[in-house]
């Protein structure tokens, strides 16, 4: 069989070129540290590696989310820790204010200290996470949760609770709306808490409910129903603003008056007993208060002189109610702190699971893509030797021609 010179050159050149390509590819694999440089090298491994890379990236993002959530929750927990300490101080002051040996001046000093605690609580309720977002305003993170008012403070946020995805099927709350922490103090099972003054001598009973057609006029303020010295007429005063909302009105049982979205009814349940005694009073408060309203009422009570028996009874009743409201508020704060602590503990567990997943993903990617250097270097040496042998063989083979014989 005759082999032409052109065939010798074409075949030898093609073979040397293939060997050179294989050598270059091995050198690229060693330089990159990967055995799969393009999807064409191993389509199945490339597809599997893409899925694993996406899963690993998502797992890494969850870890970042958990760190962000941990930072936010830690700030919130620190703020609520300060709130807890402040409420304990307030409770101590309330107990001290009940000391019967204190003068009006002494109670005024306590009222001043309580006012400082009130302002401090308001500042804590309006805390931010360090990036300018308010912690306790629900979804309205750019709106300060509370604004100081004459009656305490009003809530400006919403009822939303922000969550952050911290794992495939787990979301954790970043905080709670402020009204659930600083508010939600139930003073009555009804819409309003209507209480007879301890000094009352009559048998009348007062109740209050929302007047639906005028419910938009609700203020959330405290009111006082006061009868005259004959017990035959009464007025209603807004204790928060000092304004008279119902002028002197003759009383006939049952008597209903409407003001500021409230229907107030006074009745005599046991005639012919005296319905109303001279100077009888009833207080009307929202059935749900916040701690700022409680402290504002308490400051006003302590700043009111208690020189008569009736005034002293008012003081005792006010302190008892304030003490109960502080306990309820403290319970709200401790519940919120417990929720934050549970979330922080859960994130530690999720971090451990996430770290284990990350190691597994990276190990699988390594098995699919990473280069076995020992094998690659051995292949490189073999390919270099083969290429050199092919080159030398080509030189010898290409010289076996008639032209070389003639020469």
pLDDT band at 383 (very low <50, low <70, confident <90, very high): low
Whether 399 has a pLDDT exceeding 70, the answer reads: no
Mean pLDDT of 245-273: 83
Secondary structure letter of residue 258 according to DSSP: E
Confidence (pLDDT) at 87: 94
Q: Which long-range contacts (CB under 8 A, 24 or more apart) does 306-313 make?
A: 306/104, 306/107, 307/104, 309/199, 310/197, 310/199, 310/279, 313/197, 313/198, 313/199
Taken in order 166, 169, 170, 171, the sign of the CA dihedral is positive
Cα 154 from Cα 119, distance rounded (Å) = 14
pTM: 0.73
* Mean pLDDT, the chain, whole residue set: 81
The answer for residues whose C-beta is within 8 angstroms of residue 288's C-beta and 6 or more apart is 183, 184, 185, 186, 187
Q: What is the CATH number of domain 36-186+290-370?
A: 1.20.1330.10
pLDDT band at 118 (very low <50, low <70, confident <90, very high): very high
Q: Residue 184 has which token pair?
A: 């939600």
Domain boundaries, the chain: 36-186+290-370, 192-286
Residue identified by tokens 């701690």 is 291
The answer for residues whose C-beta is within 8 angstroms of residue 195's C-beta and 6 or more apart is 282, 283, 285, 317, 321
Phi-psi region of 286 (alpha: psi -120 to 50; beta: other; left: phi over 0): beta
Confidence (pLDDT) at 297: 86
Query: Apex CA 94: angle with CA 93 and CA 97, to 5°?
Result: 85
- Length of the chain as a residue count: 407
Least confident of 60-74, 124-138, 233-247, 364-378: 364-378
Mean pLDDT of 189-217: 84
Confidence (pLDDT) at 159: 86
Q: Which of 30-34, 270-274, 292-296 has the highest mean pLDDT?
A: 292-296
pLDDT digits (tens, 9 = 90+) for 371-381: 666 666 776 66
pLDDT band at 86 (very low <50, low <70, confident <90, very high): very high
Taken in order 264, 270, 271, 274, the sign of the CA dihedral is negative
Cα 130 from Cα 119, distance rounded (Å) = 21
The answer for residues whose C-beta is within 8 angstroms of residue 240's C-beta and 6 or more apart is 150, 151, 219, 221, 222, 296
Mean pLDDT of 199-217: 85
pLDDT digits (tens, 9 = 90+) for 99-114: 888 888 999 999 999 9
CB burial of residue 71 (10 Å; 0-12, 13-18, 19+)? middle
Higher local confidence (pLDDT), 309 or 85: 85
Mean pLDDT of 202-230: 86
Whether 144 has a pLDDT exceeding 60, the answer reads: yes
pLDDT digits (tens, 9 = 90+) for 16-32: 666 666 666 666 666 66
């Amino acid at each position: 069989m005759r082999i032409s010179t052109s065939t010798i050159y074409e075949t030898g050149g093609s073979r040397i070129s293939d060997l050179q390509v294989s050598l270059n590819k091995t050198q690229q694999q060693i330089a990159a540290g990967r055995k799969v440089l393009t999807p064409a090298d191993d389509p199945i491994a490339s597809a599997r590696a893409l899925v694993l890379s996406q899963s690993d990236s998502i797992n890494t993002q969850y870890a970042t989310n958990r760190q962000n959530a941990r930072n936010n929750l830690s700030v919130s927990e620190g703020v609520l820790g300060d709130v807890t300490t402040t409420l304990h101080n307030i409770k101590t002051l309330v107990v001290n204010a009940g000391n019967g040996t204190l003068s009006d001046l002494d109670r005024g000093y306590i009222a001043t200290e309580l006012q400082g605690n009130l302002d401090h609580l308001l500042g804590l309720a309006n805390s931010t996470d360090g990036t300018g977002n308010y912690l306790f305003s629900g979804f309205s993170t750019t709106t300060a949760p509370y604004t100081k008012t004459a009656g305490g403070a009003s809530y400006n946020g919403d009822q939303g609770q922000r969550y952050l995805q911290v794992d495939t099927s787990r979301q954790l709350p970043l905080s709670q709306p402020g009204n659930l922490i600083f508010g939600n103090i139930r003073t009555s099972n009804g819409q309003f808490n209507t209480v007879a003054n301890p000094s009352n001598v009559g048998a009348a009973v007062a109740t209050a409910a929302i007047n639906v057609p005028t419910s938009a006029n609700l203020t959330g303020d405290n009111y006082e129903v006061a009868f005259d010295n004959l017990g035959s007429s009464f007025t209603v005063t807004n204790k928060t603003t000092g304004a008279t909302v119902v002028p002197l009105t003759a009383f006939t049982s049952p008597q209903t008056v409407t003001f500021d979205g409230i229907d107030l009814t006074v009745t005599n349940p046991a005639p012919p007993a005296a319905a109303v005694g001279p100077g009888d009073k009833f207080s009307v408060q929202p059935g749900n208060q916040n701690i700022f309203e409680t402290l504002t009422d308490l400051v006003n009570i302590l700043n009111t002189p208690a020189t008569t028996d009736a005034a002293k009874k008012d003081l005792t009743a006010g302190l008892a109610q304030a003490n109960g409201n502080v306990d309820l508020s403290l319970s709200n704060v401790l519940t919120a702190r417990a929720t934050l602590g549970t979330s922080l503990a859960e994130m530690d567990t999720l971090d451990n699971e996430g770290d284990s997943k990350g190691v597994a993903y990276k190990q699988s990617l390594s098995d699919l893509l990473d280069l076995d250097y020992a094998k690659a270097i051995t292949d490189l040496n073999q390919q270099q030797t083969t290429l050199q042998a092919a080159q030398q063989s080509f030189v010898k083979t290409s010289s076996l021609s008639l032209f070389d014989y003639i020469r």
